[in-house]
Amino acid sequence: MFKVNTNFQKLPGSYLFSTIAKKVAAYSEANPNADIIRLGIGDVTQPIAPAMISALHSAVDEMGDAKTFHGYAPDLGYPFLREAIAKNDYQARGCDISADEIFVSDGAKSDSADIQELFSADARIAVCDPVYPVYVDSNVMAGRCGTYDEKSGKWSDIIYMPTTAENHFVPEFPKETPDVIYLCLPNNPTGTTLTKSQLQLWVDYANKNGSLIIFDAAYEAYISEDDVPHSIYECTGARTCAIEIHSFSKNAGFTGVRLGYTVVPKDLVFDGVALHGMWARRHGTKFNGAPYIIQKAGEAVYSPEGKAQIKEQVGYYMNNAKTIYTGLKDAGFEVYGGVNAPYIWLKTPDKMTSWDFFDYLLEKVQIVGTPGAGFGPSGEGYFRLTAFGSAENTLRAIERIKNI
Ligand code: MLT
């Protein structure tokens, strides 16, 4: 008889953002006239900028002509995009990464969920707490996390590294040595980050202990401070311990078109096995390449017009971040993030739980945010607002919060 993967049954509830969507839909149905402002999921609201739209249009036209039609894309990505990425995101920053170490994909979410296929079944993973839930849930599905304790909100076999106001959002090295360390910097959900010298310590730690770092750089475009690294490969020695994952969703508004990439340096060798070859084998077997038209739009991100346009869009969202940050501060909230990331992380007032605060904001002022507890036990007592709304809605939301 068919046997299901029972690891799925261990997962509590539904995926965080699905749970929130269901709650908001129920509220909306009961209050059809409610003017709800959504600052929950980190989804962009501004349209894709003209340089990328124009690239999409001409690529679509190419697909309609036998002479320029493209079928299956190369499974690791078109050379024009891999080269643009290597040149602009790495070599221009002094990082030693070549085009053949870039693996183009349909987004950072799938890569960050799938990368665990490279780990042994008994690998010990370490995550910051709070954390982007995909890292944890994907390892749970693979049977790597033990059992879930409802009371503590923790998995028995995961190493948690609290990152809270108490340690200034700088994770400490765990007591037990992990095989894999997930780092998302600038961080989702806290909106905080590490300086280059703080990240260097993690690279040194991983190299010393033979650990692999999965570095999620999805929010890199939002960095405004000089001492914050845009890539882990700015740190010495990262080529032998780190995989880096990137998104085009947050910098170029591609949440609805899907494009991302992962960097696997050839120097990443464990037990005599190169992870580059493993990921190439996996990509070749399970993936038929991101669509040509989308990769052409990705290439346009690196054109002079594309660069200028996405810079303006990032600036637009960062203005929202400032509006939220200063508005909440003025209203007396304890606020973090929002300087190098499009997320603002606040302490819930009056020691409310984060889900109670979620309900309170939705019912009182029709604002949707994300409860910190949804990102892990150390997220309890915190709440996340995103800067990805429209400027108008962001201002209205902050006025509403100030008035309660
Ligand atoms: C978030 O809200 O945390 C993000 O939208 C998650 C994602 O990018 O998948």
Provide DSSP, 216-259: E-TTGGG--STTS-SSGGGSTTGGGTEEEEEESHHHH--TTT--
Residues of the chain with pLDDT > 70, as a percent, come to 100
Ligand 1 site, residue 109, Cβ cutoff 6 A: yes
Give the pair of three-digit tokens for residue 291. 């669509």
Residue 87's region, left for phi above 0, alpha for psi from -120 to 50, else beta, is alpha
Question: 266 pLDDT exceeds 90?
Answer: yes
Query: What pLDDT was estimated at residue 350?
Result: 92
pLDDT band of residue 127 (cuts 50, 70, 90) is very high
Cα gap 127→171, rounded to integer Å: 9
Query: What pLDDT was estimated at residue 292?
Result: 98
Mutating to test ligand 1, I would choose from 132, 190, 247 the residue with most ligand atoms within 8 A of its C-beta, which is 132
Give the pair of three-digit tokens for residue 375. 């990102």
Cite the residue boundaries of each domain of the chain with CATH code 3.40.640.10. 53-303
DSSP 3-state of 150: coil
Number of residues that make up the chain: 404
pLDDT band of residue 14 (cuts 50, 70, 90) is confident
Report the candidate in 375, 9, 381 with the shortest Cα–Cα distance to residue 160.
Answer: 375
Query: What pLDDT was estimated at residue 15?
Result: 82
Cite the residue boundaries of each domain of the chain with CATH code 3.90.1150.10. 12-47+305-402
Query: What pLDDT was estimated at residue 327?
Result: 97
User: Which residues make beta-bridge pairs with 273?
Assistant: 270
Say if residues 39 and 369 touch (Cβ distance below 8 Å): yes
Is residue 72 a known part of a binding site?
yes
Ligand 1 atom closest to 41 (CA): 2
53-303, what's its fold?
A: Aspartate Aminotransferase; domain 2 (3.40.640)
Return the residue whose CA atom lies nearest to atom 5 of ligand 1: 42
pLDDT band of residue 13 (cuts 50, 70, 90) is confident
Homologous superfamily of the 12-47+305-402 domain (CATH): Aspartate Aminotransferase, domain 1 (3.90.1150.10)
Ligand 1 site, residue 394, Cβ cutoff 6 A: no
Q: Average pLDDT in the 39-65 region? A: 97
Say if residues 136 and 155 touch (Cβ distance below 8 Å): yes
Ligand 1 atom closest to 109 (CA): 9
Cα gap 185→98, rounded to integer Å: 22
Question: 69 pLDDT exceeds 90?
Answer: yes
Q: How much is the mean pLDDT over the chain?
A: 97
* CA 1 to ligand 1 center in whole angstroms: 38
Question: 376 pLDDT exceeds 90?
Answer: yes
Q: Does the complex come out with an ipTM higher than 0.85?
A: yes
Is residue 7 a known part of a binding site?
no
Q: Average pLDDT in the 245-255 region? A: 98
DSSP 281: H
In terms of pLDDT, which residue wins out, 338 or 404?
338
Ligand 1 site, residue 42, Cβ cutoff 6 A: yes
* CA 42 to ligand 1 center in whole angstroms: 5
Helices 50-63, 292-300: crossing angle, 10 deg rounding = 150
Say if residues 404 and 364 touch (Cβ distance below 8 Å): yes
As to burial, measured by CB atoms within 10 angstroms (0-12 exposed, 13-18 middle, 19+ buried), residue 166 is exposed
Question: 365 pLDDT exceeds 90?
Answer: yes
Give the pair of three-digit tokens for residue 223. 């960095």
pLDDT band of residue 347 (cuts 50, 70, 90) is very high
* CA 230 to ligand 1 center in whole angstroms: 19
Report the candidate in 248, 351, 369, 266 with the shortest Cα–Cα distance to residue 306.
Answer: 248
Phi, psi (rounded to 5 degrees) for 199: -70, -35
pLDDT band of residue 338 (cuts 50, 70, 90) is very high
* CA 43 to ligand 1 center in whole angstroms: 7
